[in-house]
């Protein structure tokens, strides 16, 4: 770990003051939890975004996906994806995630393979529904698990890495489709777009198998053979010290705890609006490129369509690192809100230079890249109630996906491509609302006068060595109780 440890120091991967023992633990958590979560999220986006890339690479003509049929295909995927999401994230607080998540990945991988052999539009609709159903647990489940292992000073960077796996999957889908269209088109009697789905499956299923072996579930339930008994206890006590409390169980008060909590509603809304306002960075951007065949070939469209995904990755890493190191989430989100308004206004005007139009799309990719900052902020606000946090993440994703189902049908009809005038007006309004709403939790928390993230970081840094030392002694429930009392004092 010598080189890795020195590199981690350079990039600020670990908070200052962390003991050697805790660093070893976090290094293991990164390998066991973060790596698999990233790989499975990568394959989800690889498989899901393959449809758009296949659409502009021959599927549209081969399966007669004319008019608004692409929106309907996306809609049936969203129905399959949303129908079980909240129950799934409640379920994952009770059952072993190391079996549940990889099994779901195998399911959607096999139906992705089936997509390669569909003969008509109706068969494509059926396959996309099942791909969506299989992918139900992926994002919300992995997000819950990732946010169950890390301290507040660590969580932003890990969320950025995890989140970045999605756009990277989108990028690779474009690159694979470009390569398949160029090199595999009509090989073995299959069109290039069909080969894309086959290649996606070849990548997906083996990654699912990795999860069965290495994924360690959550700290309070883990039976991982790769963690020592001392490390398992340290994994729990260091989170208790920051107010991340263990499961309270599922009872009749659960949904009431969500309904009466203003933070639940405001953070779910912020996450949804972030997704809705930045929709132009995906399909509208690709269709705008496709509408210029004199400038961009099919392969160019597949490759250039990945630009906004690359920007999302860079934005996620930069903004999450900054918010972790400065221990404040609000400023980077506020700046992102300004960029979001600028980007949507530019595209709403439309009759502008080509370069400025590119910048408008890129701006929205950067704004969407701040989502893991919001996720980290949400996890911190619900540190004391694991089940409410799990439902908040699932609710945001369900509502966001439902908006992704309905909003394109209303404001982003394919027949309006590539201008989408009503869509860009809608996105501008939502961007303004998002920025205004962002101020609410920041202002309320500031008025409440609670400890800032920077205060918590200083306290936990001072306490870092003592937490590790406590774990080295014989396990004592009274000590864990005292850690919880310390946390209550901070709150």
What share of the chain in percent tops pLDDT 90? 56
Answer yes or no: is 232 within a domain: no
Q: What's 339's domain CATH number?
A: 1.20.1250.20
Return the bridge partners of 50, or none: none
- pTM > 0.85: no
Q: Which of 127, 477, 53 is CA-nearest to residue 290? A: 53
Answer yes or no: is 459 within a domain: yes
The mean per-residue pLDDT over the stretch 306-316 comes to 90
Summarize pLDDT for 2-38 with one digit per residue, the tens. Answer: 666 666 666 678 877 788 899 999 999 999 999 999 9
Answer yes or no: is 267 within a domain: yes
- Tell me what pLDDT residue 459 has: 44
Least confident window among 110-114, 182-186, 235-239: 182-186
Give me the residue label for tokens 């501008």. Answer: 428
Asked if residue 196 lies in contact with residue 54, where contact means CB atoms within 8 angstroms, the answer is yes
Helix H or strand E segment including 399: helix 386-411
Question: ω into residue 97 within 30 of 0, thus cis?
Answer: no
Answer yes or no: is 471 within a domain: no
Answer yes or no: is 178 within a domain: yes
> Residues 388-413, buried b or exposed e (16+ Cβ, 10 A)?
bbbbbbbbbbbbbbebbbebbeebbe
Q: Which of 367, 357, 340, 369 is CA-nearest to residue 427? A: 340
pLDDT at 52 exceeding the cut of 90: no
Alpha carbons 44 and 196: distance in angstroms, whole number: 14
Alpha carbons 48 and 35: distance in angstroms, whole number: 20
Answer yes or no: is 1 within a domain: no
- Tell me what pLDDT residue 6 has: 64
Alpha carbons 383 and 205: distance in angstroms, whole number: 34
Contacts of 50 (CB under 8 A, 6+ apart): 112, 115, 173, 176, 177, 196, 197, 200
Centre a 10 Å sphere on the Cβ of residue 454 and count the other Cβ atoms it contains: 12
Q: List Cα–Cα distances, 488 to 278, 451, 460, in angstroms.
A: 38, 12, 14
pLDDT at 483 exceeding the cut of 50: no
Asked if residue 144 lies in contact with residue 396, where contact means CB atoms within 8 angstroms, the answer is no
Alpha carbons 73 and 51: distance in angstroms, whole number: 9
Q: Which of 361, 372, 389 is CA-nearest to residue 332? A: 372
State the burial class of residue 429 (Cβ atoms within 10 Å of its Cβ: 0-12, 13-18, 19+): middle
Summarize pLDDT for 421-448 with one digit per residue, the tens. Answer: 999 999 999 999 999 999 999 999 888 8
The secondary structure of 72-140, three-state, reads HHHHHHHHHHHCCHHHHHHHCCCCCHHHHHHHHHHHHHHHHHHHCCCCCHHHHHHHHHHHHHHHHHHHH
Helix H or strand E segment including 66: none
Answer yes or no: is 365 within a domain: yes
Alpha carbons 82 and 186: distance in angstroms, whole number: 35
- Tell me what pLDDT residue 490 has: 35
State how many domains the chain has.
Answer: 1
Mean pLDDT for the chain? 86
Q: Which of 306, 288, 276 is CA-nearest to residue 176? A: 306
Share in percent of the chain as helix, strand, coil (round to 5): 80, 0, 20
Centre a 10 Å sphere on the Cβ of residue 448 and count the other Cβ atoms it contains: 7
- Tell me what pLDDT residue 202 has: 94
More confident residue, 279 or 49: 279
- The pair of structure tokens assigned to 184 is 């595999």
Q: Which of 303, 264, 269, 310 is CA-nearest to residue 286? A: 303
Answer yes or no: is 229 within a domain: no
- Tell me what pLDDT residue 440 has: 94
- The residue segments making up the domain with residue 311 are 18-216+262-463
């Amino acid at each position: 770990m010598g080189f890795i440890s020195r590199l981690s120091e350079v990039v600020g991967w670990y908070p200052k003051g962390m003991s050697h023992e805790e660093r070893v633990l976090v290094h293991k958590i990164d390998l066991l939890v973060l790596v698999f979560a990233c790989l499975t999220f990568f394959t989800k986006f690889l498989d899901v975004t393959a449809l758009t890339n296949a659409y502009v690479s021959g599927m549209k003509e081969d399966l007669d996906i004319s008019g608004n049929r692409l929106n309907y295909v996306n809609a049936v995927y969203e129905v399959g994806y949303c129908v079980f999401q909240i129950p799934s994230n409640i379920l994952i607080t009770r059952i072993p995630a190391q079996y549940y998540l990889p099994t779901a990945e195998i399911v959607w991988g096999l139906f992705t393979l089936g997509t390669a052999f569909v003969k008509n539009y109706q068969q494509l609709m059926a396959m996309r529904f099942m791909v969506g159903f299989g992918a139900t647990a992926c994002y919300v489940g992995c997000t819950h698990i990732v946010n169950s292992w890390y301290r507040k000073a660590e969580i932003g960077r890990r969320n950025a890495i995890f989140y970045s796996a999605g756009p990277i999957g989108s990028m690779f889908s474009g690159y694979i489709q470009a390569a398949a269209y160029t090199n595999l088109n009509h090989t073995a009697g299959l069109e290039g777009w069909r080969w894309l789905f086959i290649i996606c499956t070849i990548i997906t299923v083996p990654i699912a198998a990795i999860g069965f072996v290495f994924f360690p579930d959550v700290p309070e339930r883990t039976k991982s053979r790769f963690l020592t008994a001392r490390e398992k206890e340290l994994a729990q006590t260091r989170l208790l010290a920051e107010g991340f409390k263990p499961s309270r169980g599922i009872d009749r008060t659960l949904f009431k705890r969500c309904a009466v909590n203003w933070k639940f509603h405001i953070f779910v809304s912020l996450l949804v609006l972030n997704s809705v306002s930045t929709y132009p960075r995906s399909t509208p951007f690709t269709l705008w490129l496709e509408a210029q065949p004199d400038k961009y070939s099919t392969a160019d469209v597949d490759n250039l369509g990945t630009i906004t995904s690359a920007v999302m990755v860079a934005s996620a890493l930069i903004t999450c690192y900054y918010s972790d190191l400065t221990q404040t989430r609000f400023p980077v989100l506020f700046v992102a809100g300004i960029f979001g308004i600028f980007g949507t206004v530019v595209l709403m005007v439309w009759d502008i230079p080509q370069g400025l139009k590119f910048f408008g799309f890129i701006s929205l990719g950067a704004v969407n890249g701040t989502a893991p900052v919001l996720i980290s902020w949400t996890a911190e606000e619900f540190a004391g109630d694991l089940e409410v946090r799990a439902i908040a993440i699932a609710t945001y994703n369900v509502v966001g996906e439902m908006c992704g189902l309905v909003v394109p049908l209303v404001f982003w009809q394919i027949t309006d491509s590539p201008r989408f005038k009503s869509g860009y007006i809608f996105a501008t309004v939502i961007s303004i609302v998002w920025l205004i709403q962002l101020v609410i939790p920041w202002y309320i928390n500031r008025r409440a006068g609670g400890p800032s993230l920077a205060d918590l970081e200083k306290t936990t840094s001072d306490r870092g060595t003592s937490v590790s030392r406590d774990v080295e002694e014989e396990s004592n429930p009274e000590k864990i109780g005292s850690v919880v009392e310390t946390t209550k004092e901070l709150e």
